A = this chain, B = another copy of it.
Amino acid sequence: MTHTVENTTTAPSTDEAVEVIENDLDESARVPRKGGRDKSGAKSERSDVVVARTDVEWLGRYLLGTWADVRLASRELTARPEMQRIEGQTMADHRERVFGQLKLLVEDGAVHRAFPKEQGGEDDHGGNIAGFEELVTADPSLQIKSGVQWGLFGAAVLHLGTAYHHETFLPAIMSLEVPGAFAMTETGHGSDVAAIGTTATYDEASHEFVLDTPFRGAWKDYLGNAAKDGLAAVVFAQLVTKNVNHGVHAFYVPLRDPATGEFLPGIGGEDDGLKGGLNGIDNGRLHFTGVRVPRANLLNRYGDVAEDGTYSSPIESPGRRFFTMLGTLVQGRVSLDGASVAAAKIALTIAVTYGNERRQFTAGSDTDEEVLLDYQLHQKRLMPKLATTYAASFAHEQLLTKFDQVFSGAADTDDDRQDLETLAAALKPLSTWHALETLQEAREACGGAGFLAENRLVGLRADLDIYATFEGDNHVLLQLVAKRLLSDYSRRFAKADFGVLARYVVEQASDRAVHGSGLRSLAQRVADFGSTARSVGQLRDPDAQRQLLTDRVETMVGDVAAKLRPASKLSQKAAADLFNQHQVEIIEAARAHAELLQWEAFTQAVEGDAGAHGVGAGMDDGTRVVLTWLRDLFGLGLVEKHLAWYLLNGRLSPQRAQAVGQYTQRLSARIRPHAQDLVKAFGYGPAHTRAAIATGAEKTRQAEARDHYRDARAAGTLPAPEKKPKVRR
């Protein structure tokens, strides 16, 4: 074998197995060369060589995806100082500033893209979310507060209401004349919306709904715009008419007198006060005592009450009706997914830039020795996070595309909507947790400097903390995903007996094997390979990665399904207990599914098909090599994370499993020289990162220190070090 990929890593390898791996990899990367250049810009001398490099401009455009123009426009907006957070403001000042920024958004016209053309909008659902999620780089409070106003309050009127509501309420919502709250969550029931206690009882005499909060746990809670700014709210309540509870419906309810800012009669509330972050938003609590609204204020797209109190709905099943209504609000999850990816990109841009400049524990202070990112540990801490960020970014683009197809009507069957909800429920937990972990790792990787507010990381982390539990608690969302996986599974096997179920997994894995070899038999043949390098060579194959990841999901789902099978014969309580005994497995299966979705998205992106809109054309071979390394680091990183599972379930031989960890470490080292380019491709400039340590200041300081010692040494003024005493042995 010959070296066919330029390896810009300087650290020599002394591990033969790893060396062989590298050769093994290199061979596969021997693809026709298309004008690749090495880092210095010089053309390689060997004509058949693909030089790993990153075409930052091309990749940047690729990452921007389908709604590139909207994103760029939004980034121009977030680069304006008046849109940005001022660290250290009091809660009151911060709230006022963010409210003012919302007005700027209105002036900019950027927040109306999703609204109907009849109301002056653009009917552009994907573009609306793309632009909106970029606001996180200015101030997450701004992102979420505008999300409350137009993405929740406004979107509820849009999607749950009908023409009357659009005409009557949307203009003032769009213009911010009426700031509003989205009053769904209650103190007593966080993610369990079906169980809310607030009631809206139809009064046949007056043709009004009467809203009531029956007990303290039914107070609406954590609502943005509720503590101070909200003049109205969309209130979710159990709709009761003719003494029948038709389940959760939404009502448009005025809250405050616009003239005085005082609550209207029957309405009360309080401020949630200071929070761990997002303090530019006035979250608060609301409660209702005999609050009357006209019958027409019921947002009646999915359920209506006639003047005589007769209830009707286009959706017969109360359960399906409930999920359909909630499904129209999926954009919150979609946008949190995208915003989290953006925050992770900012974090890595800061940490990689600093890690590429900062020197520490250098042997002599006047030498040009390693920067932090040359340390193996630092690579281990940041490179996998970089790979995951790329995966999450490409996965989000697919989610956003799906969202746009459903909401534009291009593909909005029931199945499409369910797929969208499942995809959002799968990706939002992973990306929000990933953002927190990345911000924290970046903070620690920047040491004390990372703790200063001026370097952004702590503030962003504090703000994004709540993303893990709002718009659906992450674990609850994963459980939803698992239920979908299980129901898909059982639907296919509704009549099958246990034996069939048990066989299913193996067959399924075989069916999916692209090269016609089932994964299990592949694993069993491992022992024959006889060399670590060969093992890794196989693992680099995307089909092998796909099989490993897919097989794990399917095996876990199949296992759980088999364990839950007796539930259908049990009482409701016993069935719930059985489910609870496997809850951890169930959620782990959903997580595995979500990880697979990210991997598939990344793999499609490496193949030039990120957005399904042709934006992937023109990827050069060098960039493809780097992206492939990143994808492999992500995919094999997942295998490494779950290595015990693969070993316990006989999917990997110990030999091959051992190679996985060695290889991911090697990949981190190989990606390291491209790290700066890879964060540059995220496209966030100094106006977005706004971190003192990511401005080159550290490099300047390092150079100054080095020059000082060099000059002093040259001038003979540097004091000599104390002589070491003679060693006595």
Contact = CB atoms under 8 A, between A and B. Distances in A.
A444 interface: yes
Interface string A332-371: 0000000000000000000000000001111101000010
A462 B475 CA distance: 23
A566 B12 CA distance: 14
Contact of A719 (B244, B316, B724): B244
A176 interface: no
Nearest to A466: B451
Interface in A434-473: 436, 440, 443-444, 447-454, 457-459, 461-462, 465-466, 468-470, 473
A376 B584 contact: yes
Nearest to A697: B216
Given A185-B448, A244-B720, A648-B658, A701 B469 contact: no
A273 interface: yes
Interface in A610-665: 643-644, 647-648, 650, 654, 657-658, 665
B458 A470 contact: no
Contacts of A206: none
A666 to B, nearest CB: 10
Interface in A358-397: 359-363, 365, 370, 374-377, 380
B453 A469 contact: no
Tallying the copies of this chain within the complex gives: 2
A475 B576 CA distance: 44
A117 interface: no
A11 B216 CA distance: 31
A215 B577 contact: no
A487 interface: no
B365 A587 contact: no
A296 to B, nearest CB: 22
A458 B275 contact: yes
B705 A453 contact: no
Interface residues of A, number: 114
A191 interface: yes
Contact of A190 (B360, B470, B721): B360
Nearest to A454: B273
Contacts of A457: 276
Interface in A248-303: 272-277
Interface in A414-451: 436, 440, 443-444, 447-451
Contacts of A311: 722
Contacts of A462: 276, 458, 462
Contacts of A708: 197, 214-215
B217 A452 contact: no
A499 interface: no
Nearest to A446: B469
Nearest to A583: B376
Contacts of A654: 647-648, 650
Contacts of A12: 577
A351 B433 CA distance: 19
Given A643-B644, A725-B316, A276 B657 contact: no
Nearest to A470: B448
A377 B584 contact: yes
Q: Which of A240, A244, A447, A724 has the most CB of B within 10 A?
A: A447
A580 B451 contact: no
Interface stretch (A86-94, A134-142, A596-604): A86-94
Given A185-B448, A216-B701, A701-B215, A192 B361 contact: yes
A708 B215 CA distance: 7
A61 interface: no
A245 B720 contact: yes
A524 interface: no
Nearest to A311: B722
Interface string A55-85: 0000000000000000000000000000000
Interface in A471-505: 473-475
Given A197-B705, A450-B469, 13 more contacts: A14-B566, A88-B274, A188-B705, A214-B705, A215-B705, A243-B719, A275-B458, A276-B443, A374-B580, A376-B582, A443-B465, A458-B462, A648-B654
| A-B residue pairs, 9 tightest by C-beta | A276-B458, A274-B453, A643-B644, A376-B583, A245-B719, A88-B274, A217-B701, A316-B725, A644-B644
